[in-house]
Every structure is written in structure tokens, then in C-alpha cells.
Amino acid sequence: MPVLLVLVLAGCSSHRRAEPEPTPSPDLTRAPAAVAVNSGPFEAGPFKPPSTGAYLGAWIKPDELTHTGRVDAVDGLENELGRPLDIVNTYRRFDQLVGTDSDKEFVNQGATLMVSWATGDNRSITAGEHDELIREQAHAIRTLKKPVLLRIRWEMDRPNLRATMWSGEDYIAAYKHIRQVFAEENTTNVSWVWCPTAEGFVRGDAPAFYPGDDQVDWTCVDVYAGNQFQPIGQLMGPYLQWAAQRPKPIIIGEFGVAKAWGSDGRAAWLRDAERTFKANPQIKAVVYFESNPEGNGPKQQFQLAGDRPAFRAFTKLTQDPYFNPD
């Protein structure tokens, strides 16, 4: 007959499953580290960094991806903040051209576009298979006749992009190929922005994607208090140490603090971010990610609107004279 083994666990603590440790609260009151202290002046392409302070920008997810929706989203945030944005971030698929009606309206209102361009497979780009499309984009950007910040496949170091990025060498070859096509089209109003993730510097693989000082005008990083609630200076510390060795201005291409960390925690994190930006004067522009991407959980929702304490802290940052340079 089968033997039935019955395990009876007594109520002794040695057999209980350990409770997970609570997430530690970071110290957001300590003075941030001053790492990237080179304040310039820098050669940065047609979009020049301010001599002091830093420009302010944002991506604001519209209710509808239409001309009216995009303009209303930006106007709404600017009205809430009581100031215009210096930089408006906008995203484009590989086959989407710059120069929409909303792009033109933002430029006409005095903002600078930061175009985050999701280019495709690096090896097919280098092989010339997309040259016609790249030329069309170059022409579309040239037609704006204003400086444009161009992020060629931002966050290229993400592991989930490796199938199309292939390797750092492949990304660099594609990046240089795109620059060459733009040069052939006489598109000279681009400041070239290289923007990996903060995590890529923590892992150590992001620097392999750097095209070189002769190819990049602004270095950049995307940094979030998403899955980890740590001070922004700690999250992007390895990047700042790397960028401090480059003769380039820094733009924080995306930054945000997740809803999961609570209103008071978010407000404290943003106050620490303000101090960190000021302590690192090589940072010449900061761009908030004002969005709750669909399908994301609380640790990947970054919209501040509707969260009064957090939005108040962000408003204070945006109204600081340091982020309103002449």
C-alpha cells in the first residue's frame, strides 16, 4: 500500500516563511554629490546650452495623438506651471516624419523640439536599406529652420532592444550612417543627442554604444525612480561619473518618480532632484516624463498632475530662476 507522508509544521518560528523586508526609505535630505561640475562653455551644435542654469522641458502624453491633443497637453501643463517649456519632447517611429502641425506650433511658440526617433534594425540601416526614409527625415527637420535635439534610438542599451540593436558596434555604425545622410542633405540644424539608460551604466554596458566625442553634441540619460526608490544622484551616479569625463553638456532626457512611492515620497524625491541638478552644473537641460503609459503598474506611472504635493514640488523646481535661464 502507498505510504502517505504527512508533514505537520508546528507553530515554531523557525518553520515560518520569512516576511519580506520593507523597502527602505532613502535619505533625501543629504546634500547631493557634485560629480559633473564642468559648467562649460561647450560646443553643442546649433542648440546652445545656457551659460548658467538649465533649460526645462517635458513629454506630456496627450489624451489623443492629434494636433489638437498634443497642443492642448503642452498648453495645459504650461498653464499649470505658469511658464512656457524650453524643450518639448516628442516621439517618432522610424517612418514618422518631424514637422507636423503641432511640431510647428511648438517651434513657433519658442520651444525647442527634442525628437526621440525610434530608428530600426541597425544592420539594415548601415546597409543603406532605409536611406530614402532617412533623407526624408533630414529634409523634414531642415525645413523647420530651427535647432532640433535629435535622440537617435534613445535607450539603445535596453536588453529588450538587442534584437534590432545587435551590438554597440552596430549601433555606432548606424548612428554614423544616419549622420552622414543628414550631412549629404545639408541638414545642419540638428544637435545630436546620445541617450542611454541609467541602468545601462549600472550594468556597465551602455558606454559600448557611445559613438564618440566627434559624433555627439549632448550626452544624455533617462533616469527613473520606478522599481527602485533611490535618490536620483544615486540612480544616475555611474552615468554622471562617465559624463564628467566628456567635454559635453548633459541633458536629462527623461526623468520621473513613480506613483507607487506616494505623494510625500515623490515630493521629497523631486526636491532632491532639484538640488542634484544644481550641484552638477554640467547638466544643462532636464526633461520630465509626464505620462502614465497604458498598461503600466504603479511603479511605472509618472504623471504628476493630480498629485498635489508632488506637483507642487515640481512647480517649485520649474519656477526656480536656475531653470529659467536667459
Given phi > 0 = left and psi -120 to 50 = alpha, else beta, which region is 109?
A: alpha
Please report, for the chain, the start and end positions of each structural domain, with discontinuous segments joined by +: 46-323
Q: Are 187 and 220 in contact (CB under 8 A)?
A: no
What pLDDT score does 23 carry? 55
Distance of CA 164 to the CA centre of its chain: 20
Q: Give the tens place of pLDDT for each residue, 237-274.
A: 999 999 999 999 999 999 999 999 999 999 999 999 99
Measured over the CA atoms of residue 11, residue 14, residue 17 and residue 22, the dihedral's sign is positive
SS3 2: coil
Residues 6+ positions from 244 with CB-CB distance below 8 Å: 35, 36, 37, 38, 282
Neighbours of 10 (CB within 10 A): 7
Neighbours of 124 (CB within 10 A): 12
pLDDT grade, residue 9 (50/70/90)? very low
Q: Give the tens place of pLDDT for each residue, 173-217.
A: 999 999 999 999 999 999 999 999 999 999 999 999 999 999 999
DSSP 213: T
CATH class, domain 46-323, is alpha beta
| pLDDT beyond 70 at 24 | no
Maximum separation of any 2 CA atoms in the chain, in Å: 88
Measured over the CA atoms of residue 265, residue 266, residue 269 and residue 271, the dihedral's sign is negative
90 forms beta bridges with 115
DSSP H stretches of helix in 185-289: 198-203, 232-235, 237-243, 263-279
